């Protein structure tokens, strides 16, 4: 057993060196830096060990495993690393498509480099690829598809350093804001219906005893200690109206352990952090004065939704298991479909929120009063926000869930009104929706009005 392990480690080291030592190795069209070469080498070592395991599961003999691993590393070293990772992501999407065929896969490969045509890059799993296309039994196909998915998706979370992704993310951020600013108005009949749904859901909502608090993360003003966060709290005119008791003009002060400043700079701070090898994740840090109150409103929202006899069954803000259960059931009987929205929080515009919450004043006033109106970007520029709230606001996630749930509710009702049999059971967790299959087409039409 020890000899086998030593032999495996020796093969991994040899192939890792073969894949990563090329002096002309490219990353994003440029020569790879020393630090990124080191990051790639560590990933490659683990990836090669995974390949060995996958080939053993495919009953590939040792001699063939050695050959296939060398084929892979030899093909990898002559290709741009970003290209390979992007290609593997596209191929994963191709394989999970119900319409994918072996002929289509061959056509894709023929459009790529000679290394791909020769099959060297896929050598460790080519047996799984063709058996997946060949098998008709769902369990057998699932076995081979799992192997393909592990191989293709392993490097997707690689976090390389400084390869120009921040400028791309910044450009995309501004593009999204421009799209929200210039998008056509959402049909009035739709916003009226969504407003009515949300109004019914939140007719009993009220905050009688707000309990503000500081979150664990950083704020727009920088990484502050807890005491520094309390020192930096401010309360402008809008916040005073929200917090004060009309009978006692200074009652807003009871929410602040120290005398608050008289102003709030309603400007968040946006940064980009690694998400995958080719994408950055956008994170926003709210002003300390706003996130302090947001946290209190968020806790009231979670409590209200959790105790609501209907809304609490379809929106579970702190539990994704209901989504997972319905998704599993849907994969078995086809009665439910999953919809995974991209950039969901960015697509919820302030214009939409104003229209669908305007008749839920007990909640709407808090959305107005705790919102950042602009954000400071990594390059020092300031972006006036068209979205309701960036990811980082304590209210971004629950409001996103409420709006998407209302859209699902609207779509189900419209389908049932048309006489189509449709379940009323669904589940929303952020941008992950699990809905009755019968309402998917109508829901997609509804969602497109947000694009």
Tens of pLDDT, residue by residue, the chain (451 residues): 456 666 777 778 888 887 788 778 888 888 888 888 888 888 888 898 899 999 999 999 988 998 999 889 888 888 888 888 888 888 888 887 766 777 777 766 665 555 454 578 899 999 999 898 888 888 888 899 999 999 999 988 777 776 567 788 888 889 889 888 887 778 899 999 999 999 999 999 999 889 999 988 899 998 899 999 999 999 999 999 999 887 777 889 999 999 999 999 999 999 987 776 667 788 899 999 999 999 999 999 999 999 999 999 999 999 899 999 999 888 888 899 999 887 777 789 999 999 999 999 999 999 999 999 999 999 899 999 999 998 889 999 999 999 999 999 999 999 999 999 999 999 999 889 999 999 999 999 999 887 6
- Give strand pairing partners of 285: 269
Euclidean distance between CA atoms 371 and 236, whole angstroms: 13
| Contact by Cβ (8 Å): 290, 385 | no
Euclidean distance between CA atoms 299 and 305, whole angstroms: 10
Residue 152: the pLDDT is 93
Q: What is the pTM of this model?
A: 0.74
* Burial annotation 334-357 (CB, 10 A radius, 16+ → b, else e): eebbbbeeeebbbbbbbbbbebbb
The β-bridge relationship of strands 374-376 and 267-274 is parallel
Q: Is 12 exposed, middle or buried (0-12, 13-18, 19+ CB in 10 A)?
A: buried
What number of residues does the chain have? 451
Question: Where exactly are the structural domains of the chain?
Answer: 2-157, 165-448
């Amino acid at each position: 057993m020890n000899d086998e392990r030593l032999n495996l480690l020796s093969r991994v080291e040899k192939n890792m060196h073969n894949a990563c030592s090329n002096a002309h190795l490219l990353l994003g069209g440029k020569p790879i830096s020393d630090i990124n070469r080191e990051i790639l080498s560590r990933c490659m070592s683990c990836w090669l060990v995974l390949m060995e395991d996958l080939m053993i599961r495919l009953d590939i003999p040792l001699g063939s495993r050695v050959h296939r691993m060398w084929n892979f590393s030899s093909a990898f070293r002559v290709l741009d690393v970003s290209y390979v990772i992007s290609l593997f992501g596209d191929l994963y999407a191709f394989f999970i498509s119900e319409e994918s065929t072996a002929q289509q896969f061959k056509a894709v490969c023929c459009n790529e480099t000679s290394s791909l045509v020769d099959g060297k890059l896929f050598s460790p799993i080519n047996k799984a690829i063709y058996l997946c296309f060949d098998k008709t039994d769902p369990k057998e196909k699932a076995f081979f598809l799992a192997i393909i998915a592990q191989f293709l998706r392993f490097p997707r979370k690689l976090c390389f350093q400084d390869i120009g992704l921040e400028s791309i993310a910044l450009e995309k951020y501004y593009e999204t804001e421009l799209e929200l600013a210039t998008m056509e108005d959402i049909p009035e009949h739709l916003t009226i219906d969504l407003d009515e749904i949300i109004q019914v859901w939140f007719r009993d909502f009220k905050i009688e005893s707000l309990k503000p608090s500081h979150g664990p993360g950083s704020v727009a003003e920088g990484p502050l200690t807890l005491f520094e966060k309390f020192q930096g709290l401010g309360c402008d005119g809008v916040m005073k109206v929200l917090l004060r008791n009309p009978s006692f003009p200074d009652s807003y002060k009871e929410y602040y352990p120290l005398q608050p400043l008289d102003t709030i700079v309603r400007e968040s701070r946006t940064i980009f952090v690694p998400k995958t090898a080719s994408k950055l994740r956008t994170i926003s840090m709210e002003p300390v004065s706003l996130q302090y109150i947001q946290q209190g409103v968020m806790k009231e929202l979670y409590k209200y939704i959790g105790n609501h006899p209907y809304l609490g069954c379809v929106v579970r803000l702190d539990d994704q298991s209901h989504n997972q259960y319905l998704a599993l059931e849907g994969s078995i009987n086809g009665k439910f479909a999953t919809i995974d929205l991209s950039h969901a929080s960015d697509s919820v515009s302030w214009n939409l929120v104003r229209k669908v919450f305007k008749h839920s004043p007990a909640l709407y006033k808090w959305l107005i009063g705790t919102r950042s109106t602009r954000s400071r970007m990594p390059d020092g520029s300031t972006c006036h926000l068209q979205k309701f709230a960036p990811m980082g606001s304590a209210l971004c996630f629950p409001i996103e869930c409420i709006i998407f749930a209302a859209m699902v509710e609207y779509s189900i009702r419209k389908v049932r009104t048309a006489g189509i049999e449709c379940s009323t059971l669904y589940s929303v967790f952020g941008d992950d929706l699990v809905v009755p299959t019968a309402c998917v087409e109508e829901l997609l039409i509804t969602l497109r009005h947000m694009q």
